[in-house]
Homo-oligomer: A and B are copies of this chain.
Amino acid sequence: MAYRSASTGQQIKAVLFDTFGTVVDWRSGVARDVAAFAERHRLADLDAWAFTDAWRAKYDPSMDPIRNGTRAFVPLDELHRENLICTLPEFGLDPSDYDDELDDLTAAWERLDPWEDSVAGLTELGRYAIIGPLSNANLALLLRMGLRAGLPWAVIIGSDVIRAYKPTPQAYRNAVHLLRLDPGEVMLAAAHNHDLAAAQRGGLGTAFIPRPTEFGPGQAKDLSAEGDWDLVCTSIVDLAGRFA
């Protein structure tokens, strides 16, 4: 079977997923590695959750100069490392004291656990459509994340492959072109309304999957659908059921 998008009028042949937040729980995973780092260095006062949130707060702004063309493309793992170096002093730590560990701590963004429905949902959905990440992460990060978490991707589209960061129009356009499909044959699945809005402007189908604890217990945004999305699902398993 297959799913025909009401908005695009075409059969969906590929479902591409936002990953951080939509497929994997970045906050718990990064905080776990930050906590281990703190313990190793006897930094009893380091709040791993606060550190993770501060590190992540730099994520989106760090891509902006690349999005608007004032900086040449830099892959996300390098931005994560730069952002880590900026975050450490905010917590009273000198990056140069941890030179040997910065690469490994940056790789915390590869060691993220899937939400409990992700593997089962992707496995089922993979029977009906090409499935892959369409993430701001780079390919190597997504590859290692997927192997560790058991994500059954058919293809991995990293931002370094398409040389563009969402939500710029090129990100969706380049991914669709790489797959040799029409925009209306591709669906973006995401927990973020702004990502879906950009995909929809590019002619893609859209599926919203809320992840109300992605940003922690006090999350205030993306709790519900804010656009006219093709599908609003409770989980990736639910999404797969729409294709079955």
Contacts and interface: CB of A to CB of B under 8 A. Distances in A.
A143 B130 contact: yes
A143 B77 contact: no
A11 to B, nearest CB: 16
Interface string A27-38: 000000000000
A139 B160 contact: no
A143 B138 CA distance: 19
Given A156-B155, A156-B156, A161-B161, A140 B77 contact: no
A201 interface: no
A120 to B, nearest CB: 19
A108 to B, nearest CB: 15
Nearest to A141: B180
Interface string A135-166: 00011100100110000001110101100000
B130 A180 contact: no
Contacts of A140: 178-181
A179 B181 CA distance: 25
A40 B155 CA distance: 34
Contacts of A146: 154
A143 B154 contact: yes
Interface in A152-206: 154-156, 158, 160-161, 178-181
A138 to B, nearest CB: 8
Contact of A155 (B130, B139, B178): B139
B161 A154 contact: no
Interface in A3-23: none
22 contacts: A77-B180, A130-B143, A130-B147, A138-B180, A139-B155, A139-B178, A139-B179, A140-B178, A140-B179, A140-B180, A140-B181, A143-B154, A143-B155, A143-B179, A146-B154, A147-B154, A155-B156, A156-B156, A158-B178, A160-B178, A161-B161, A161-B178
Given A130-B143, A139-B179, A146-B154, 5 more contacts: A130-B147, A140-B178, A143-B154, A155-B156, A160-B178
